[in-house]
Amino acid sequence: MPRQIWLNGKLVPEQQATVSVFDHGLLYGDGVFEGIRTYNGRIFKLRSHLLRLYASARAIRLEIPYTLDQLDQAVRQTVQANSANNGYIRLCVTRGVGTLGLNPFLCKQAGTFIIADHIALYPREIYENGLEVITASTQRTAPAALSARIKSMNYLNNILAKIEAIDAGVLEAVMLNHQGFVAEGTGDNIFIVRGGSARPQLATPPLHASVLEGITRNLVIDLAGQADIGCEQTDLTKYDLYAADEMFLTGTAAEVVPVTKIDKRDVGTGKPGPITQQLMAAFKKLLANHAPED
């Protein structure tokens, strides 16, 4: 049975879910999106994702032609139509059909589509044994050029860093910002553990370091707090990553992923560390006990 795509107000078979070649989302990457997960029929942090979508749209003066509640129902309708009880949702809002010029205000109405499917960024053994990463030479886009807090459709910056990772024979790259501080991965936020076994503490780049305010990032900070593990949001350098006791990535699609090697250097013991494993277990427990929809 073909997938059903929610396109501009109605469900259509995927073969009919087409976008105009004059849509500025295609021509210029002018649009915003969210990636959302479903677990056991529950849509994970849906309201948080929708709020971020509308914030991103406001930041680029893109008017979404639906209310938040209407998109909430549209997402649920798409999940139900595709029986995507354990899957991945991509919600996109483009600038819409316009001219070949840049002027976004010649686009009459934004285009909206929702896909409910599946995604697997990393093989299962990565979660058991850890991920190897490199530091990319491609810098994260400077916030004065484009704020990383806008989850826009223009991902070329991240894609170039991803190409570097693949060329190096690994699956992910750490991106630095224009000041040389650690920003994030090509699609995930970064955490390290430092302080030794006596007083371990998390550290993660602050939002001003060209970082997306990840939904899973915020949740992991909350889970750490519940476990009496402090988390410092502070500028980090490559040295901090090299000297860390542990490292892990977080993201909606990736969840919580241990990193055990960076730039050919072992992170800590070269195996997923105890704090990383504790937070991975806490995250899985949360999902097992009815993933929060708020």
Element (H, E) at 173: strand 172-176
- CA-to-CA distance for 176 and 203, rounded, in angstroms? 16
Q: Which residues are 114's β-sheet partners?
A: 6, 91
Q: In what order do the strands lie in the sheet with 4-7?
A: 10-13, 4-7, 111-117, 87-94, 31-39, 42-43
Nearest to 7 by CA among 113, 80, 116: 113
With residues binned 3-state (H G I as helix, E B as strand, rest as coil), the percentages for the chain, rounded to 5, are: 30, 25, 40
151 is catalytic: yes
271 class by beta-carbon count within 10 Å (0-12 exposed, 13-18 middle, 19+ buried): middle
Q: Is 126 helix (H, G, I), strand (E, B) or coil?
A: helix
Q: Which of 151, 162, 264, 284 is catalytic?
A: 151
Residue 95 has a CB neighbour count (10 Å cut-off) of 27
Q: Which residues are designated catalytic?
A: 151
